[in-house]
Amino acid sequence: MAYDLSERLVIGLASSALFDLEESDRVFREQGEASYRIYQRDNENKPLSTGVAFPFIKRLLSLNELSPDNPPIEVVLLSRNDPETGLRVMKSIEHHELGITRAIFLQGRYPHRFIPALNISLFLSANRQDVDQAILAGHPAGQVLSSGDLDLTDEEELRIAFDFDGVLVTDESETIYQQQGIDAFHEYERANAQVPPEAGLLAVFLRKLAYIQMLEKQREEETQGAYRPKVRVSIVTARNAPAHERVIHTMRSWGVTVNEAYFLGGIAKEHVLGIIKPHIFFDDQASHLSATSDILPSVHVPFGQLNHGLGASEEGAVRPGLSSREEGAA
């Protein structure tokens, strides 16, 4: 019987999100593809160092203990390497004892084409071009940004934080704010407080996380509290009253209960995020992420008019994990 992905939480992952490829990227840029191929072969048995998304992925995969015979989470490597140069990545995965056994090697071609076929709820890469292609095709994707702070402790809790507009829902309300101002935005949100916005790119990912949390609650009840739930989900948004109500009604309509919500009304998000310390944070605005990426793993979801139209800024506003290489180790 074929391995069914339809009911699982599936993450698609470029090696540039999982491992530190700075040295490999430099060889490719400065010496070319032939030297890069030799370099990877010579270092085939030298494990790559962990990258920005590694703590998130490691903790996420640990949740498969909830159902070892039918694991609820699957992570698939989607790599621009060819199979030979990608062998070092697979050996590094084995070295770090990650439960990733499925991989696709594309020799420079775009990976986003495989997102629907593999039922992927989130694709992560440090390559902005790959992420843009995925989002333009309507698929859930985010660019992992360079970060100086990686939580590699043995702590079991997994904390995930989301912005709301442009991430969990579309940028419909954000566009009204940008074009008409705060008063028009608040008036629109009051009038539509009971009406959920159109779901955004990461809505399915959040719903799949909610299912994992349900499995955790069941395990907690079965073990009479011996098992303690690990997943903790937060919404960190620039919305405040009265626009907070629509967020709550949206979560209710989706059947999702988040653990925490922060309605900051313009307070810098890094102040709160520095306290709750999520293992990954998703936001659509580069201006927010330029500060958060210094203190925690951050993912840019370049969706909507702020990124591709109204108010769009240069990509240099955030620091990508790989800035130049389009065809190699991502």
Tell me whether residue 328 is in a domain: no
Residues 207 and 273 in one domain: yes
Taking a C-beta distance cutoff of 8 angstroms, is the pair 219, 213 a contact?
no
Name 261's Cβ contacts closer than 8 Å, sequence gap at least 6: 234, 235, 237, 244, 247, 248
Residues 130 and 253 in one domain: no
Residues 266 and 183 in one domain: yes
The CA angle 173-175-181, to the nearest 5 degrees, is: 90
Residues 235 and 189 in one domain: yes
pLDDT at 118 over 60: yes
Nearest to 11 by CA among 134, 135, 120, 128: 120
CA distance 145 to 181: 30
Domain ends where: 89, 110, 144? 144
Residues 62 and 175 in one domain: no
Tell me whether residue 223 is in a domain: yes
Tell me whether residue 150 is in a domain: no
Average pLDDT over residues 86-112: 93
Tell me whether residue 70 is in a domain: yes
* Catalytic one of 163, 165, 283, 284: 163
Strand pairing class (158-162; 102-105): unpaired
Residues 114 and 233 in one domain: no
Tell me whether residue 318 is in a domain: no
Quick one: pLDDT at residue 153?
67
Quick one: pLDDT at residue 314?
43
The CATH number assigned to the domain holding 84 equals 3.40.50.1000
pLDDT digits 0-9 by tens, 204-263: 999 999 999 999 999 999 999 999 999 999 999 999 999 999 999 999 999 999 999 999
pLDDT at 329 over 60: no
Residues 75 and 121 in one domain: yes
Q: Higher model confidence: residue 313 or residue 82? A: 82
Residues 77 and 214 in one domain: no
Taking a C-beta distance cutoff of 8 angstroms, is the pair 308, 287 a contact?
no
Tell me whether residue 246 is in a domain: yes
The CATH number assigned to the domain holding 275 equals 3.40.50
pLDDT digits 0-9 by tens, 272-300: 999 999 999 999 998 889 999 989 999 99
Instruction: Tally the domains of the chain.
Output: 2
CA-to-CA separations, 323 to 125, 141, 205, 304, in angstroms, rounded: 12, 17, 27, 22
Residue 177: how many CA atoms within 13 Å on its side-chain side? Answer: 18
DSSP SS3 for 124: strand
pLDDT digits 0-9 by tens, 124-164: 999 999 999 999 999 999 999 988 766 666 788 999 999 99
Average pLDDT over residues 18-22: 92
**Considering the entire predicted model, what is its pTM?**
0.91
CA distance 20 to 14: 11
One-letter amino acid of 188: Y
CA distance 328 to 51: 17
Structural domain of residue 58, as residue ranges? Answer: 9-144
Quick one: pLDDT at residue 310?
56
Residues 120 and 189 in one domain: no
Among this protein's residues, is 163 annotated catalytic? yes
Mean of the per-residue pLDDT values for the chain?
90
Tell me whether residue 233 is in a domain: yes
Phi, psi of 154 (to 5 degrees): -90, 10
Sheet holding 158-162, edge to edge: 102-105, 73-79, 9-13, 122-125, 141-144, 298-300, 280-283, 158-162, 231-237, 260-263
DSSP code per residue over 253-286: HHT---SEEEE-TTS-HHHHHHHH--SEEEES-H
Tell me whether residue 113 is in a domain: yes
Taking a C-beta distance cutoff of 8 angstroms, is the pair 242, 188 a contact?
no
Quick one: pLDDT at residue 90?
95
Is the bond into 242 cis (omega within 30 degrees of 0)?
yes
Quick one: pLDDT at residue 152?
61
CA distance 45 to 208: 35
Residues 127 and 13 in one domain: yes
Residues 178 and 283 in one domain: yes
Residues 197 and 258 in one domain: yes
Quick one: pLDDT at residue 287?
86
